[in-house]
């Protein structure tokens, strides 16, 4: 039987950064997941980084303000390992990801 859990974690004190987490387990194995860092910038939420298992492989998307993204396949033995990495990475480095996104946003303005 599969079980899906979903939750949002506020990051920092200003409530303008959050992690959106969703994962599904079957028996004790992670069979799919999404861990997404979102930032409130200019009055709207932007997806900045998303780890997921769409297309039957664990991978990460780093989004850019112009709507494009860079995609990299993750090299882990199991989805559980990839999920743990994704969660830890975004909890530890969300400020760095936000800074890069905001810098790209600023550079793209005329």
Per-residue pLDDT at 51: 98
Residue-level pLDDT at 110: 77
What are the DSSP E strand ranges found in 12-79?
A: 17-26, 29-41, 44-52, 59-63, 69-73
How large is the average pLDDT for residues 79-90?
98
- pLDDT at res. 108: 86
With vertex at residue 41, the alpha carbon angle to CA 68 and CA 17, rounded to the nearest 5 degrees, is 95
pLDDT digits (tens, 9 = 90+) for 27-84: 999 999 999 999 999 999 999 999 999 989 999 999 999 999 999 999 999 999 999 9
The CB density around residue 19, as the number of other CB atoms within 10 Å, is: 19
pLDDT at 5 over 80: yes
User: 108 phi and psi, to 5 degrees?
Assistant: -85, -10
**Cα–Cα separations (whole angstroms), residue 70 to 15, 38, 45, 59, 66:** 26, 16, 19, 10, 12
């Amino acid at each position: 039987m599969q079980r899906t859990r979903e939750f949002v974690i506020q990051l920092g004190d200003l409530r303008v950064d959050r992690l959106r987490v969703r994962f599904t387990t079957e028996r004790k194995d992670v069979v799919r997941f999404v861990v997404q860092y979102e930032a409130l910038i200019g009055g709207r939420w932007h997806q900045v980084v998303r780890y997921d298992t769409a297309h039957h492989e664990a991978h990460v998307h780093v989004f850019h303000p112009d709507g494009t993204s860079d995609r990299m396949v993750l090299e882990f033995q199991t989805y559980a390992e990839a999920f743990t990495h994704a969660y830890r990475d975004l909890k530890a480095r969300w400020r760095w990801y936000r800074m890069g996104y905001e810098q790209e946003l600023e550079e793209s303005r005329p």
